Amino acid sequence: MSKKFKIYLIISIFTLGSCSIAGSWVYERADGYLAKYFKEYANFSNEQESEIDKVTESYVNWFTQNELPVIRAILVKIKAINNNNAENLINETYVSGQGLFERSNKFFEKSFVKFSKTLTDLQVDEIRNHFDETQVKREESRKKEKSYSEEVFENFTSGFRRLNLKLTNAQKDYIKENITELKNARSGWSFYQEKWVEELIEILKKRNDKDFEENITNHLRSFENLGDEEFQLRRKNNEQVTIKIISGIFSSASEKQIRGMNRRIETYIASIDRILSNRSLD
């Protein structure tokens, strides 16, 4: 499910909250937030909701023990960024992020397959309706969105702002110039995600078949490689352009900008340290 494949991002956002105290306070309730997300898909029985609670709690514990130290190490490494090492460091950070993504997906895989077998026909229909409603809301939201280039520009500037890095006019111009190389993949994402969901529902309807586990597992893994060859090339292009833009900004960053960013990163690290310390005392 699309939400499932972004769970680690949700956890990371909770971790890197507005301040050390608030970030760690929210994180301690992360399993509840995650459980609520999953429970929105259908009207589950008490037993099923109990299983969701158990899996999400297990995930947060696993993430805390295994992935928070990885995120902390990434943040420490980013603090060492400078005009000379920016490109290599951003590429390494991207690869590390992909690893986090893939490991979180793998964690949920077996639990989702097992849980799927407990679904009723009515719940499968409810899941389908949930996805349909989400798709309608997404399309309605996109009608109100700004142009692709404006949206992307705002995403970049807001991202650097969250890092406490105030962009110069020259750096903003650099972003504007380079986002023209990005390929608009909005419609492709919508089409292929919708197609993926349709196939998921059909597989869930056959959850009693002997080859169900293999089919559902393969389908879940296929989400990471959505689309045909042309769409994959668009995605790869956009990844490379994004890394180029981020690297370019850091390569041109002043000492003052780097110091400001490092102060924010230190706040994030403090949040992680507080979480790890609290967990070790449990």
Question: Which residue range(s) make up the domain with 79?
Answer: 4-281
Range in 6-20, 81-95, 169-183 with the lowest mean pLDDT? 6-20
Q: Give the range with max mean pLDDT: 15-29, 60-74, 163-177.
A: 163-177
pTM for this model (two decimals): 0.82
Exposed/middle/buried for residue 160 (C-beta within 10 Å: 0-12, 13-18, 19+):
buried
Query: What is the number of other CB atoms lying within 10 angstroms of the CB of residue 56?
Result: 23
Mind listing the pLDDT tens digit for each residue in 125-135? 999 999 888 88
Per-residue pLDDT tens digits for 213-263: 999 999 998 888 888 888 888 888 988 999 999 999 999 999 999 999 999
Total domain count, the chain: 1
Q: Which residues contact 152 (CB under 8 A, 6 or more apart)?
A: 179, 182
